[in-house]
Amino acid sequence: MEFDWIDCHFDLKKVTPVEVEESFEDPFSIRLLPEFGDSDAETRFFALGKTVSNRFLFSVFWTDGKKYRVILCRDMAEDEQTFYERKNAEWV
């Protein structure tokens, strides 16, 4: 998995590239495609994942199948973390 760090709109000191990559490599990460009506726009995905140090991260990203461009990454809100944990409990 290759990441492109151009045009990311978040502070890479608050959420490091290593943490973002770890959240994408989380075997239990959840990736979602939001439903938008504008088919001309670049498709953006949501990712919910956990780092090695148990930090829960929410990301918005774009991919062409080879490279990932993370547009936004932040700590998960409480309801997002609950969703992540509930979905993972369903898979066990």
pTM score of the predicted model: 0.87
7 confidence band (pLDDT: 50, 70, 90): confident
46-58 confidence digits (pLDDT tens): 999 999 999 999 9
Average pLDDT over residues 76-92: 92
Cα–Cα dist 25/92, whole Å: 18
Those residues whose C-beta lies under 8 Å from the C-beta of residue 50, and which sit 6 or more positions away, are 22, 23, 26, 28, 29, 56, 57, 84
Q: So what's the pLDDT on residue 57?
A: 97
DSSP 35: -
Considering the chain, what percentage of its residues have pLDDT values greater than 70?
A: 91
CB-CB neighbours of 76 under 10 Å: 20
Q: Return the structure tokens found at 6.
A: 């151009």
Those residues whose C-beta lies under 8 Å from the C-beta of residue 8, and which sit 6 or more positions away, are 69, 70, 71, 72, 73
